Amino acid sequence: MQSNSGATSQSVLLPRSERSIPAGAEIVGAVDAGELISVSVILKPIEPLDLKQLGGRRLSREEYAAKHGASPATADKVRQFGIEHGLSVNDAASDLTRRTVVLQGTASAMQKAFGVDLKQYEYRDRDGFTQHFRGRQGSLMIPAALADSIEAVLGLDNRQQATAHFRKIGALGTHAAAERKTDSSFTPVQVAQLYNFPKDATGTGQTIGIIELGGGYQTSDLQQYFKNLGRTAPAIVAVSVDGATSSPGDPNGPDAEVMLDVEVAAAVAPGAKIAMYFAPNTDRGFQDALTTAIHDTTNSPSVISISWGSSESTWTQQAMQAFDQSCQAAAILGVTVTVASGDNGSTDGITDNANHVDFPASSPHVLACGGTTLTANNGKVISETVWNDLPKGGATGGGVSNIFSKPDYQNNVNVPSPANGSGGRGVPDVSGDADPKTGYQIQVDGEAGIVGGTSAVAPLWAGLVALLNQKLGQPVGFLNPKLYAGATAGALRDITNGNNGAFTAGTGWDPCTGLGSPNGEQLEVVLRQVSSQMQSKLTAGQAR
């Protein structure tokens, strides 16, 4: 039960902030009253975001900040609220453009400020590991005077929010060489060649942003890996978010995710700069990493790759809303966000006999990336089917959101009805090689191995986007409306065989592999045509 010990007659529930405790979690103690906690208070924008009203027009960073950032007056209200409750503002971590005010103080002060009762919990996750976290139940309370100012409060609960969507063949290390002989694996360069990525582009002038919620990289690994590929190791900038840093240590853990992401993206787009945003694996850390990347004017990524996520059912609606609005901000600014759709088939690993999709892949404002099994010979694709190794292995995530409504760009494709009557956004949008049996040869912490999962598809598409941006001379930005515009014949290979559990592939878009896998050079042609058509409509609309 929730305790509203800090609530007053002038307090109201913060909408969509309700949180429950994972099944099987047990209280193991009280939170130390003196424990220092930081929370990100996400403020509502000066003006709501409306991509439809903009009609494809992009905003400059200055225009976005002026219209859709947070107002100084709103931030001052939150600051005053914090002072009244014994909390201070971390000005260095707060940002009006990111609509984020970071409050910090003791657990005792936080509980009174937001009317919650924090406890220490323990539970065993689906992988059999024991997790400890500071948690809460029920909804948050905020002053009625701030009801029109606050969108979300993240960080009171610090449970692990997301999992990395990679799959490997056995343990990385001594057996990898033998396994490689028996499995049809590829280097990322070979996958790009099979998908006909533009050959006369390297991603020069582009920055690929990569979100990481754990693990780290070793420069020596990257140097050796790219030397073996005959390519120069990428220029990498590591950005710390909420105190997290690159922390390598386990080749079979998050390090495999980090190295898969950077090795795939940089091999595909060797001329691009890589900016890696390391953040704590919490809802607050994930949100802060995304907004930091989107609004990073120093590195200015034109595409952001995300290989982490979890079922919609594990998120608070306030966190999903804040994250999706940040993805809308990326779209308005011309930044593409590619996201892995998950590796647990149509259930997304939730054992309730229902279908679920992964978030943030289910955000209507990201390019959700599903997975295939790719077979090739002599540099040519022989077959491509839906990746599904269940029940012992993994399978591409896909299905229908129970939270986000079907976007306009999916109106002309056959998206199944959502299970609960609300929602409707179909996942994924596109796909690529993800089966670890036809996976990617990588190096992690000095060990060679073969890794797959939809985690590989997000950076693969991010690398392709970097190439397309260079070729087109401008960011492709929010790709989804262009891909669904109906002019993509030949640009996407339709995957028509296989299933991911509840859903079966078929002609056209489906909840397994979306619109299909890429034909990079033809996609460039299509995007030139669609961008020209959209620009003509935009110009005509402005003239009226």
**What does the pLDDT look like over 69-84, one tens digit per residue?**
999 999 999 999 999 9
Q: Is the pLDDT of residue 9 over 90?
A: no
Token pair for residue 184? 């049809």
Q: Is the pLDDT of residue 422 over 50?
A: yes
Residue 92 CA to residue 37 CA, distance in Å, equals: 16
For residue 233, give the DSSP letter: P
pLDDT at 366: 98
Place of tokens 């491509």: 384
pLDDT band at 4 (very low <50, low <70, confident <90, very high): very low
Torsion of CA 298, 303, 305, 309, to 10 degrees: 100
End-of-domain residue from the set 154, 172, 201: 154
In a domain? residue 511? no
pLDDT band at 195 (very low <50, low <70, confident <90, very high): very high
pLDDT at 487: 62
On whether both 131 and 188 belong to a single domain, the answer is no
Average pLDDT (426-432) is: 98
Which of 157, 212, 242, 257 is an active site residue?
257
pLDDT at 181: 42
Place of tokens 């669904």: 484
Q: What is the tens place of the pLDDT at every residue in 230-284?
A: 999 999 999 999 999 999 988 888 999 999 999 999 999 999 999 999 999 999 9
Which of 17, 326, 362, 455 is an active site residue?
455
**474 HSE (CA, 13 A, CB side):** 11
pLDDT at 420: 81
Residue 255 falls in the annotated catalytic set:
no
On whether both 59 and 177 belong to a single domain, the answer is no
On whether both 366 and 264 belong to a single domain, the answer is yes
On whether both 367 and 284 belong to a single domain, the answer is yes
Q: Which residue, 39, 142, 38, 33, is CA-closest to 81?
A: 142
In a domain? residue 509? no
Residue 302 CA to residue 408 CA, distance in Å, equals: 24
Average pLDDT (137-166) is: 96
Residue 149 CA to residue 41 CA, distance in Å, equals: 10
Residue 84 falls in the annotated catalytic set:
no
pLDDT at 138: 95
Q: Is the pLDDT of residue 539 over 80?
A: no
Phi, psi of 525 (to 5 degrees): -60, -45
Average pLDDT (274-301) is: 98
On whether both 57 and 175 belong to a single domain, the answer is no
Q: Is the pLDDT of residue 395 over 50?
A: yes
Q: Is the pLDDT of residue 5 over 70?
A: no
Residue 266 CA to residue 274 CA, distance in Å, equals: 7
Q: Is the pLDDT of residue 495 over 90?
A: yes
Q: Is the pLDDT of residue 178 over 80?
A: no
pLDDT at 191: 98
Residue 490 CA to residue 512 CA, distance in Å, equals: 19
Residue 525 CA to residue 316 CA, distance in Å, equals: 41
pLDDT band at 183 (very low <50, low <70, confident <90, very high): low
Which residues does residue 275 pair with via DSSP β-bridges, in sequence order? 209, 237
On whether both 168 and 243 belong to a single domain, the answer is yes
Mean pLDDT in the chain? 92
Whether residue 360 has a cis bond before it, omega within 30° of 0: yes
Which of 24-28, 36-40, 191-195, 469-473 shows the lowest mean pLDDT across its residues? 24-28
In a domain? residue 524? no
End-of-domain residue from the set 464, 483, 499: 499
Average pLDDT (86-96) is: 97
Asked if 236 and 170 count as a contact pair (C-beta separation under 8 A), the reply is: no
Q: What percent of the chain has pLDDT over 90?
A: 83
On whether both 114 and 248 belong to a single domain, the answer is no
Residue 271 CA to residue 477 CA, distance in Å, equals: 19
On whether both 297 and 360 belong to a single domain, the answer is yes
Which of 472-481, 485-494, 499-508, 528-537 shows the lowest mean pLDDT across its residues? 528-537
pLDDT at 174: 45
Q: Is the pLDDT of residue 1 over 50?
A: no
Largest CA distance in the chain: 73
Whether residue 198 has a cis bond before it, omega within 30° of 0: no
pLDDT band at 111 (very low <50, low <70, confident <90, very high): very high
In a domain? residue 504? no
Which of 95, 151, 212, 261 is an active site residue?
261
Which of 38-52, 165-179, 219-233, 381-395 shows the lowest mean pLDDT across its residues? 165-179
pLDDT at 260: 97
Number of domains in the chain: 2
On whether both 224 and 300 belong to a single domain, the answer is yes
End-of-domain residue from the set 121, 154, 187: 154
On whether both 244 and 142 belong to a single domain, the answer is no
Query: Residue 80: how many CB atoms within 10 A of its CB?
Result: 14
On whether both 142 and 167 belong to a single domain, the answer is no
Give the torsion sign (CA, 448, 454, 455, 460): positive
- CATH number, position 289: 3.40.50.200
On whether both 358 and 234 belong to a single domain, the answer is yes
Token pair for residue 2? 């929730």
> Which residue range is the domain that position 147 belongs to?
11-154
Angle made by CA atoms 483, 187, 494, in degrees to the nearest 5: 30
Residue 247 falls in the annotated catalytic set:
no
